[in-house]
């Protein structure tokens, strides 16, 4: 009976290690995607870049007010992707800016192929290398 308990404990420990690895990979993938989407977003005032929001569990629909914004302000939001006690939560990268779809559709010469679709294709080519 003690052997069975020991085996169960070993399985639980291995499961915990596996979940931790998956969570780490998920966050690395999300961070890479968020960074690339922000970098690819066309810039006039920087508002579109700042409108990208990484979040856990539910999309963050916050929209920055009109103004001048830096890329650093947008990338500073990446802290949302740091380790969390809750593992394997859904991670969202969203923008609720009214014209973000137009930019994704190639309206800007700065990003004629969009931002999200290009990043998605890039991620598929990276596979488990991140």
Average pLDDT score, the chain: 92
Distance, CA of 100 to CA of 115 (rounded, Å) = 10
83-105 confidence digits (pLDDT tens): 877 778 899 999 999 999 999 99
Inter-helix orientation angle 116-126/2-40, to 10°: 140
Q: What is the pTM assigned to this prediction?
A: 0.86
The CA distance from 52 to 22, in Å, is: 24
Read off the DSSP letter of residue 88. Answer: S
């Amino acid at each position: 009976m003690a052997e069975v308990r020991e085996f169960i404990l070993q399985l639980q420990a291995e499961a915990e290690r596996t979940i931790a690895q998956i969570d780490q990979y998920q966050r690395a993938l999300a961070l890479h995607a968020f960074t690339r989407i922000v970098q690819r977003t066309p810039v006039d005032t920087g508002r579109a870049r700042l409108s990208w929001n990484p979040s856990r569990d539910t999309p963050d629909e916050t929209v920055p007010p009109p103004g001048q914004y830096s890329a650093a302000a947008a990338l500073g939001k990446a802290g949302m992707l740091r380790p969390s006690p809750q593992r394997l939560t859904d991670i969202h990268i969203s923008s609720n800016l009214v014209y973000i779809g137009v930019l994704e559709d190639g309206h800007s010469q700065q990003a004629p192929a969009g931002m999200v679709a290009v990043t998605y294709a890039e991620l598929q080519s990276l596979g488990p290398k991140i």
